[in-house]
Amino acid sequence: MTVVSFFFITMKSSLQGTMSLFKPADGILRTNLSWDDLQESVFEIFGKDAKFGPNKDAKDIGFASGFMSKICLITPDWQTRMDGVPEKFVVKVSSQLSFIECKGMFGDIEEEFSTEEFSRAMESEVKKIHNNEITLYKLLKKYDVSEVPRPKVYYTREFSEENPLKGFIIMEYLADNLSLHIFDNLSPEDILQALHAIASLEAASLKFTDEDKGLFMKNIFGEMFAKALTKENVKAALDLMRHAGGDRIKGNVDRLESIVSEIIDTELADNLPDILGMKRVLCHGDMWSTNIIWRKKGKGVELAALVDFQTSHFGCPTTDVVRLLNACLSAKDRRENWESLLEKFYSFLKDEVGDNNQMPCTLEQLKQAYRLYFPLGAFMIVPMIGPLFSLANNSDDVEYKERVQELIFEKTEGLLEDIFEFYEKNKNTSSGTEAKENNGGLLL
């Protein structure tokens, strides 16, 4: 995840006390989930012959990709040969521990989130988004949604009063996938696959009942992101970015800091569909590089799956698109192609919906929503930029370091410059002015 996971990193190994999601336990990869717990769940899925062997193993495959859960690749060492049972599978364990391996990457903001008080406060949010993701998977299965690529889910366990510590999801392991990060730019042609998947998700959600829609988290920007985007936290993120990027981006970071209270308009983001007269659709909520799994295909890539639906919600049809284009394209390609890609996305949406009378928005509404949401959507990538510079700087491969740094600089400079451009344009448009008057920026 990006801004959610970054701002909710709360673990310090020195914390002591009762069991929780933010303290090491004696389970798999130091989580609360034991091998016995997992074995019982696997018996339910695959039958009593699916018994783990003495050489069973768990490997953390989510390092520096997400901080709200442990992604465990399980090699079960099956004791019986079974047909149709995977040799390996993934267990996503809801946990606040993942940041421990990344300690030192996030600068002063770690101090803001190192207190046990804050960790306990965020624990309830971690549980909410875990249950929210399970809701998403259940409803996609209920409506037989096949056009949204995702790992097969074998088993889910929600948090509840009876189960306060062991929330997890057992799912398919997608082998031979590419590990792409924000500095691994894709081509506009490759991005079309992800746009089609987003369109399929949005179209499928139009069939959901009001009761189904009510199961998802509401006002996710105001209820979740606003809790994290405090003055202190934002300042720490900008300071880290300024330090990591040096003189080359310092001026733009200074300028961003001067207007950031207006950029972080979470209320506008939550209400944008209503302001522009659009239908709400199901959004992934955290559409960025590490939540999209690709496979190599010829000279390009093939979309294998979307993952990490923890912040899925009913919102604006354009929010996932803004995040996707900012995270996965170079600044040059995004600037040259964003409008044509939106038009292509709209054509995908029309094909998936089928009935023009059921379309959630017009093309012009989609473009206007893109413009209005862009400053916040682009800003939500900012927290990861400083750590990425740090990762590149730590490499011993000089050629790799220089290449990655230049890719990050190009994307970062483009993001900052375009935040300013859309911010200024939005101030001078009627819909932008109306939106600001109705909602106002929010920075706690």
Q: What pLDDT digit, counting tens, does each position of 26-45 carry?
A: 999 999 999 999 999 999 99
What are the tokens at 164? 């306060």
The alpha carbon torsion through 17, 18, 24, 30 (nearest 10 deg) reads 160
51/436 Cα distance (integer angstroms): 58
Dihedral sign from CA coordinates of 115, 118, 124, 127? negative
- Return the HEC string of 91-126: EEEECCCHHHHHCCCCCCHHHHCCCHHHHHHHHHHH
Q: What pLDDT digit, counting tens, does each position of 50-87 carry?
A: 999 999 999 999 865 666 889 999 999 999 999 999 99
The pLDDT value recorded for residue 7 is 47
Whether the predicted pLDDT of 113 surpasses 60: no
- Give the mean model confidence (pLDDT) for residues 159-173: 97
What lies within 8 Å, CB to CB, of 187 at 6+ separation is 300, 333
- Asked if residues 359 and 209 have their Cβ atoms less than 8 Å apart, the reply is no
The pLDDT value recorded for residue 20 is 83
Tell me the domains of the chain and their CATH numbers: 3-172 (no CATH), 188-439 (3.90.1200)
129 sits in which H/E element: helix 116-142
Q: What pLDDT digit, counting tens, does each position of 2-13 carry?
A: 555 544 433 333
Residue with more model confidence, 23 or 12: 23
Whether the predicted pLDDT of 430 surpasses 50: yes
The pLDDT value recorded for residue 14 is 35
Confidence of residue 391 (pLDDT cuts 50, 70, 90): confident
